[in-house]
A and B are shown apart, each in its own frame.
Chain A
Amino acid sequence: MSLSLPYPNLVFVPLDVLTAEELNNMMSDISFIANQFPIASTNIGTRAVKKTNVDWSNIVTKTTGANGTVLTFPDGFKIEYGTVSQSLNINTSYEGSYFGAIENVAFPVAFTSTPTIITNTFQSQSLLSTTVSELTASKFNTYIWKQTSKNGVLVSLNWVAFGY
C-alpha cells in the first residue's frame, strides 16, 4: 500500500514560526495519518514501515573475518558464520578407524565449551587447510554447527558462533 500525505515535502526547522496556513496543512497531514492508521488497527505494526525501507547497512555491518562472515550489531554483539570443508578421496580404510570418533550431532546444538568435534577433527588432526581456531576463542559463548558426512567421513561443517 502506497500513501502520500496531502501536504508532503514540508521544510521545517525547530523554532520556525508557523503561519496559520501551515498549521492547517499540518493538521491535514495528521488527520490523514490518523484516519489511515487508526490506533486500534494493526496496520502500523505490520505495514507502516517495510523492512525493505530500512537501511540495514547503517545498523548491521557485514565484514569478512578470518574464518567466515562477521555481522556486527550496534551494541557489539557479533554473529560469525561460515563453512569449512575438505575434499578427501572417500576410502573405506578411513571409515570407522581414523574418523571413528566422530559423533553425529543434531542441528541446532548450543553449548558453552569448545566442541570436541572441532578440536579433535579440525585442529589436532589438521586434515583441513582451513582451521576454525576463531571458534575456540572464549569471546564467543555459543556455537551452533551442522556437519555433513559421507561414508562416515566428515566432509564439511557449517558453523555459526555468536556472542559479545
Chain B
Amino acid sequence: MGFMNITLNQVAIWRPAGAEELDKRLSPAGQTYYETSNPVAKRAQEPLARYVKDYAIDKVKFSLFVRTALQNDKAIEESLDKCAKALTKAQVLEYLSDCQGMDFVYLPTTLNNKGELNNES
C-alpha cells in the first residue's frame, strides 16, 4: 500500500465510498497537508473539509473526493459532477486499477478559491 498525502483542492478518484449524495466531513485543525504548487508540508490551522460523491459510468462505480479549506458545498458538488462527466469509462478503469487497498489517484483537476474547476484542468 502506498503512502498518500493530502493535497488541498486537488480532485482524487477512488473506489465507491458509499456516498450516493455529496458527503461532507470536517476534520479537526492540525492536519498535515500540501498545496499543489508547494512541496512543503503545512499544518492546517482550521478544520479542513472533505467532500466525496459516488458516480457510475456504464456500471463502473467510482468516487471523486477533494479536501479543501473551502466550504462552498454547491460549487464543489458542481465541480465534482463536471469532473466525473469529463471522464471516460476507459480512464476510470485505468485509475481504479491503481486503487488497491487505501491507495487513490489524484487527477490533474484542481479547484480555484471559489470551489470551481480551474480553467487549465
Contacts and interface: CB of A to CB of B under 8 A. Distances in A.
Contacts of A11: 17-19, 23, 25, 52
Contacts of B25: 11, 13, 16
Interface residues of A, number: 12
A55 B59 contact: yes
A13 B60 contact: no
B104 A57 contact: no
| Interface size range on B against A | 20 to 34
Given A57-B59, A58-B59, A15 B4 contact: yes
Contact of B104 (A9, A14, A55, A58): A14
Contacts of A9: 18
Contacts of A20: none
Interface string B78-121: 00000000000000000000000011100000000000000000
Contacts of B14: 13-14
A12 interface: yes
A133 to B, nearest CB: 32
A104 to B, nearest CB: 46
Do most interface residues of chain A lie in helix, strand or loop, or is the interface mixed? loop
Contacts of B4: 14-15
A10 interface: yes
Nearest to A10: B18
A17 B27 contact: yes
A65 B17 CA distance: 39
Contacts of A12: 17-18
6 contacts: A9-B18, A12-B18, A13-B14, A13-B50, A15-B67, A58-B60
Interface of B: 4, 6, 14, 17-19, 23, 25, 27-28, 31, 50, 52, 59-60, 63, 65, 67, 102-104
10 smallest A-B Cβ distances: which pairs?
Answer: A14-B102, A11-B18, A11-B23, A11-B19, A17-B27, A13-B65, A13-B52, A13-B17, A14-B104, A11-B17
